[in-house]
Amino acid sequence: MQSNGATTISTNDRQNYCAALFSNCIKTKNLKMGRALHSHLIKTALLLDTFFVNRLIQMYSKCNSMDCAQKAFDELPFKNTHSWNTMISVHCQMGSFGKACCLLDGMPERNLVSYNSIISSFGRSGFYKKAISVFRGMQKWSQGDVLIDEFTFVSLTNACAGLAALELLRQVHGVAIVMGLDFNVVVCNALVDAYGKCGVPESSYWIFSRMEEKDVVSWTSMVVAYARASRLEDACLIFNQCQLGMLFLGLL
C-alpha cells in the first residue's frame, strides 16, 4: 500500500514475513538471523504474540541455545498449552527429561500432547520403565478416563517390547481394542513387532492375519517375529507371500 511516496506494510504482511523468516532460521539453524528476528519482535511488540514466541523457542533450541529458549519461555506473559508443549518437546529432544517432567508438573492445563512428548522420548532413549510410569501418571491425572491415541499406544507398545513385559503388553493391547485402535495399521505394526520381541510370534500372526491393510512394515515385522523365534520356515513363507503381494500391487 502506497502512502506519501512510502510503502506501508500491513501488520498481517509483517507477521507473515516474520513467520517465513522463522521457518527459514529453524530449517537452516541460523542463530544470527534468529537473534535479529528476536530484536525485531521486541521493537514491533510482536513479542507479545504467543505464536512468535513459540517459534522463537523452537529456533533457539534448534540452534542449541537452550538458555535463550528458556529465557524466551520464562518471559512470555501469556503462556498457552502450545507454549508449554513446545518447551517440553524441546527439553525432551535435548535429553533433559527431568526439566521436561518439571514443566509437565507445573502446567496449569495438560493435554495428551504434553504426555506423548515425554512418553515417546523416554521410550526412544531406552527408559522404558520411565515411559510406562509417566503413562500411569497420565491415567491418574485423567481421573480414570482412558486417555490414549495411536502415538501414545505405539510408544507404550515399544516400551513393553523393550522390557519383554508380555502381561503389560496384553493389557495395553486390551486398551487399544477398547479404544477402537486395534485395526489401525500403525498400531497393528507395533503390536506385531512387540509380541515378536516378547517371544510370542503366534500373537503377532493373529494380529497380522486380521489386518485389513498391510504395508511393508507389517510384512517385515511378521518375518522378523518368526525369525527371532527361529521359525525360519514360517518366516520364509511370509516373505514369499510378501513378494507375491507386492508384485500383485505393482501390476494393478
The domain limits of the chain are 1-78, 177-252
Q: Which residue has the cell 512468535?
A: 52
Antiparallel, parallel or unpaired: β 2-3 and 6-7: antiparallel
β-bridge partners, 7: 2
Q: What pLDDT score was predicted for residue 6?
A: 44
Dihedral (CA of 101, 102, 107, 108) sign: positive
**For residue 146, with 0-12 CB atoms within 10 Å meaning exposed, 13-18 middle and 19 or more buried, which class applies?**
exposed
**Residue 125: strand, helix, or coil:** coil
What's the distance, CA 206 to chain centroid? 28
- What separation, in Å, do the N-terminal and C-terminal C-alpha atoms of the chain show? 54
The strand pairing partners of 3, in sequence order, are: 6
One pLDDT digit (tens) per residue for the chain, 252 residues: 444 444 455 567 777 888 888 889 889 999 999 999 888 888 877 777 888 888 888 899 888 898 999 988 888 878 888 889 989 988 888 888 999 999 999 998 888 888 998 999 999 999 999 999 998 888 887 775 656 889 999 999 999 999 999 999 999 999 899 888 889 999 999 999 999 999 999 999 999 999 999 998 999 999 999 999 999 999 999 998 887 655 444 433
C-alpha grid cell, residue 21: 523468516
Cα–Cα distance for residue pair 248/155, rounded to 1 Å? 33
